[in-house]
Structure formats: structure tokens, C-alpha cells
Amino acid sequence: MAAKKSSDKPKNLVAAARGGQPGGGLKRYWEIFKSLAGTIAIFLVLRTFFVEAYRIPSGSMVPSLLVGDWLFVNKLVYGPHVPFTHWSLPGYSDPNRGDVVVFESPYQADQLLTGDDPTPTLVKRLIGMPGDTLYGREGVVYVNGLAQRQGYTSPEQAKGDPNMESDLFDWQKKVGLAASRFGAAPAQPKIDTWGPFVVPPGHFFMMGDNRYDSKDSRYWGFVPRANVRGRPLFVYYSYVPADESDRAVSFITDIRWGRLGHWIK
């Protein structure tokens, strides 16, 4: 018996070196893999159905949102979208007029000319609900005949040419009202003069707060309810972009500390 124990000793040492028993190393790697896979799965579920980070790439929502703002977006509120499908799960609220909303843009054929995504994810303010009659005159937006506050914008914002025309406005000619109690739609819509038209069922009309620097529903039309992806919550990080900063590595050296934790309204 003593000789047998002596002969088993080298095998036991090798097994211990491999993890305590034969195949122990593989088992340890499998456990690590399962832990990583579980962590990734939880992250993907949270990102898909609950909260996602979003970066503001343009000035279309100034002063509410600035270039260089990073936001957390609540995807559960309006019903999270199921990836690779046309379905969305039920949410606990519906979009309302005045909300800042994250959504998938309607198809923009002109984006292909510049090599950009024709259906980018955007953030704008919801201006028109289904059934609303909308029109713009001299830079003022009217909803059902009532002038809306201009002061999502700021006095410091540059004002564009109010008579600017674009081929991208031509879609409005098909929906503009030839006659209404608010007057008739112009023969050629302009950036400040458009409508009236009625927002169709199941759709919204979106505009940027920075009205003269926002490519929005005036250009590409109504947004289907199914395209809505969420509502921004707050700014968790913000910095002055490199092309506006005089500091090196501005994402570290030129942080907008006062915007951290800013709730979006």
C-alpha cells in the first residue's frame, strides 16, 4: 500500500497544478467565459430595453443640448424597440407635445449623397401631435392657431435667412392645405413660412430648438410613432468640442462641469 501511495504522488502534484483535478484548467476557463458572457448579456439587455448613452453631435438643439453633451436616454418610457424587428414593447408613457425625444429619422435620400446614414438616430423636440394643425409664419410656429413660445431658442443664436428655400421642403406641397381658417399653404414653403397641414394619425412633427440650424420635420416630414426610441434624462458628461476649444485634449481639459447632472426639459 505504501508503494502505491508513493507512485500516486507525482500524479496528484500535476493535477493540483492543473486546477486540483484533471480538466480543472478547462473548467476554470469555462467559468470565466460564462461570467463574461453573462456580464455582456446583462449590458446588452440594459442598453436595448432600459437605458442607453447618446452623444450630441450637432448644434440643432442649442441651448437645451450642446455639442459635446453625453446623455442617458430612457428607452423604457415610450416602449423599447426590439432589435432587428419592426416591433416595440409597451411603455409606461406616451410622447407629449414639448418633450425632447430620441427617434430614428424617416428615410433621407439626400444623406446618401454625402455618404451618411439615411436613417440616423436624432434628438429633437416634439412640436406636433397627431391631428394638430401646424404652420409657421415669420419664424413663429403655430399649433392649432396658437402661437408657440419661441424661447426654446436663445437670443444669442444666429438668425438665418427667413426666405430660404430648399428642394427638401417640397414634400410639404402634397400635404399643405389649400384652404383653412388659418389661410392657405404657400406655393413654395420656406424655412420660416410653411403649412398649414395636419399631422396624420400615428405620427409626430419634430423640430430642433436651434430653428435656423436644424434639419428637422420641415425637411424630411412626419415621424412615425414606431420610430420613437426614448426620452433623454440628464447630461452625465459634457466637454467643449475640439474645434471650439483652445485647449489640448478638450474632452479632458475643457469639461463643462456645470452641465454634469443637468436634467433635460
- pLDDT tens across 119-159, in order? 999 999 999 999 999 999 988 899 999 998 765 555 666 67
261 Cβ partners below 8 Å, 6+ apart?
234, 235, 236
Q: What percent of the chain has pLDDT over 70?
A: 85
Cα 38 to the center of its chain, rounded Å: 27
Name the burial class of residue 128, with classes exposed (0-12), middle (13-18) and buried (19+) by CB atoms within 10 angstroms of its CB. Answer: buried
C-alpha cell at 126: 416634439
Q: What is the mean pLDDT of residues 227-231?
A: 95
Q: Are 227 and 88 in contact (CB under 8 A)?
A: no
pTM for the full predicted model: 0.82
Q: Which residues are catalytic?
A: 60, 124
| Domain ranges for the chain | 2-46, 50-259
Pairs from 17-26 (Cβ < 8 Å, separation ≥ 24): none
**Is 3.90.170.10 the CATH classification of the domain at 50-259?**
no
Cell 389661410 found at: 183
